[in-house]
Amino acid sequence: MSRVLRPALLLLVLLGAWEAYARLGSVDDFLLPAPSEVARALADDRSLLWHNFAVTAGEVLLGIAVAVAAGLACAIALHFSRTLRVTAYPLLVASQTIPIVIIAPLLVVWLGYGLAPKLVIIALICFFPVTVTALGGLGRVDPDHRKLMRTLDASRLQAFRRVEAPAALPSLFNGAKISVAVAVIAAVLAEQAGSSDGLGHLILQSIPQFETARAYAAVAVLSAFAIVLFGALALGERLLLPWAHRPEGDVT
């Protein structure tokens, strides 16, 4: 119970401090709306928020799915080929330093205002954490387990299927969890680069219209979404990989 209660309490304290600062401080309402105003915006603009949330949520979910699929494929390829690991891995790291802001407009030119450029941006950003964690998981298999598979005359592929792949699943979940937070940011960036709806678009529109409270409401919706998604992944991991949560035992 205190696992829900404590963060909620902390949140309440922080919101209280924010409320007091926004009301008593000298900061303009258009720069920093009070939480109560954000709450009002949440209620008043709920259908607007909901419509745009549905768009962004779809992008995020699909984007993460694409990133996990691509990242997993890439991790497996890197895992099997030393040559690839040596040649392509550094470039992969370097590719992560390219700011999305630079390529986002290009993607819009190429792919238009639809779903495609958003998926590409989200997948590009999430692809890296997934690849790195999955590759780490595949490589961190207990060497004695490898030896065991060898003495049972298992082929390279069988060792992968029976030992390496299952052992790497918890890492894959971790990669997906990390990508949840970045995927939400990526979606906002992508929508701001060129879009006619979505919460990122709504935020971009609200600020010049002095609807700062609405922009904050959109951010609140995004945060809640990220938390729910993260929680769902954590729950899924517990249900699907119960063995990974046992402190005792011969876990790799």
Which residue shows structure tokens 């205190």?
Answer: 2
The residues near 174 (Cβ < 8 Å, ≥ 6 apart) are 133
With CB under 8 A, what is the number of residues at the site for other proteins? 24
| Using rule CB under 8 A, residue 147 touches other proteins | yes
Nearer to other proteins, 23 or 150 (CB): 150
Identified binder of other proteins from the candidate list 38, 107, 149, 176, rule CB under 8 A: 149
CB of 245 to other proteins, least distance (A): 10
| Using rule CB under 8 A, residue 142 touches other proteins | yes
Nearer to other proteins, 1 or 153 (CB): 153
| Using rule CB under 8 A, residue 209 touches other proteins | no
Considering only residues 217-246, where is the footprint of other proteins by CB under 8 A? 241-244, 246
Identified binder of other proteins from the candidate list 144, 207, 228, 234, rule CB under 8 A: 144
Query: Using alpha carbons only, what angle is made at residue 197 by residues 192 and 201, rounded to the nearest 5 degrees?
Result: 30
d(CA 89, CA 232): 31
DSSP string, 73-121: HHHHHHHH-HHHHHHHHHHHHHHTTS-HHHHHHHHHHHH-SSHHHHHHH
Question: How would you classify residue 98: left for phi > 0, otherwise alpha for psi between -120 and 50, otherwise beta?
Answer: beta
Identified binder of other proteins from the candidate list 120, 163, 176, 183, rule CB under 8 A: 163
| Residues binding other proteins (CB under 8 A) | 142, 144-145, 147-154, 158, 162-163, 166, 241-244, 246, 248-251
